[in-house]
Amino acid sequence: MEPKPEQNEWSSGVWAHLTDVRRRSPLVQCITNFVSMDLVANTLLSAGASPAMVHSVVEIPDFTPHIHALSINVGTLTPEWLPSMKAAAEVASQLGKPWVLDPAAVSCSGFRLKSCLELIGLKPTVIKGNGSEIIALSSASPGQTKGADSSHESTDAIEAAKSLALTSGAVVAVSGAADIVTDGNQVIGVHNGTKMMQKITATGCSLAGLIAAFLAIDSSRPLEATVSAMSVFGIAGELGEALANGPASLRMHLIDSLYGLDETTVRSRVNITRFG
């Protein structure tokens, strides 16, 4: 069956974005949690970007002005790390560089929730969370917590995501079985990926880093860049699963598949729809 014209448009956009990341190899600063540093860096390298895990507050004035995009993830937040995150976010926002906030496990504590709300005040370009994280942020109240994992479907968070996008000015991306991306008006669903990706820690964090890389090469179209990054990561997961025996080998094959993505595969697998 021929793809619908709109699907064709998305496919071309996804492939163009990935090609541009590979060609321009944007420098992406990541201030991320201890669990995810390795997978985030390897995801970015496989996609063609250049990761730098620079998180000391004393280095930010020298380094952050040179980056192309920033990803901040609060997964193992401590009071010592927060000033670095704020300093980097401030530099990025002042210099017009795109940045992503991943409010990992935001419902764990009042400290984490308050910190995320303060970071949102520094104008992230994209907020990427799972369903539970986006619902908690949108209502500014923690609710029940399952730590870094979601207890909601991404589709449960559509209204929360729209509302958070409108109040924050950020594009909001909700990962899950269907990845949801909204600027508060448009709502796009990205249906690539595989359930087993939930069984590898830091896939969500890696996706946030990848979104930053895609924003770096198309910062004036944050919704489209985010959709493309989510589709690419999901396709790599689908291809990886076909080669894997379980989560540990999926982790390896996901990285290999991301590295090897070609035009025919991307174009035939992109699965993006408009909600509503």
Ligand X SMILES: Nc1ncnc2c1ncn2[C@@H]1O[C@H](COP(=O)(O)OP(=O)(O)O)[C@@H](O)[C@H]1O
Ligand Y SMILES: Cc1ncsc1CCOP(=O)(O)O
Comparing CB distances to ligand X, the nearer of 102 and 218 is: 102
Q: Give me the least distance between CB of 131 and ligand Y, in Å please.
A: 12
Under a CB-based contact definition with an 8 Å cutoff, are residues 137 and 131 in contact?
no
Sketch the per residue contact string, 156 through 175, with ligand X: x for CB under 6 A, - otherwise.
-------------------x
Tokens for 207, please give them: 């996706």
Work out how close the CB of 208 gets to ligand X at its nearest, in angstroms, rounded to a whole number: 8
CA separation, residue 38 to residues 42, 128, 209, 267 (Å): 6, 19, 12, 29
Q: Is 196 in the site for ligand Y (CB under 6 A)?
A: no
* Closer Cβ to ligand X, 193 or 222, answer by number: 193
Site for ligand X in 34-53 (CB under 6 A): none
Q: Which of 11, 25, 36, 271 binds ligand Y (CB under 6 A)?
A: 36
Query: Contact 276/187 with Cβ under 8 angstroms?
Result: yes
Q: Taking CB under 6 A as the rule, does residue 179 contact ligand X?
A: yes
Long-range contacts of 106-110 (CB under 8 A, 24+ apart): 106/74, 106/133, 106/136, 106/137, 106/142, 107/132, 107/133, 107/136, 107/142, 107/143, 107/144, 107/145, 108/142, 108/145, 108/147, 109/142, 110/142
Q: Which of residues 85-144 bind ligand Y (CB under 6 A)?
A: 104-105
Task: Give the one entry of Mg ion, ligand Y, ligand X, none that residue 76 binds, where binding means its C-beta sits below a cut-off of 5 to 8 angstroms depending on kind.
Answer: ligand Y
Residue 148 contacts ligand Y per CB under 6 A = yes
Helix, coil or strand: residue 173: strand
The amino acid present at 255, given as its one-letter code, is I
Q: What 8-state DSSP symbol labels residue 198?
A: G
193 forms part of the interface with ligand X (CB under 6 A): yes
Binding residues (CB under 6 A) for ligand X: these are: 130, 149-150, 175-177, 179, 193-195, 197-198, 203-204, 207, 233-234
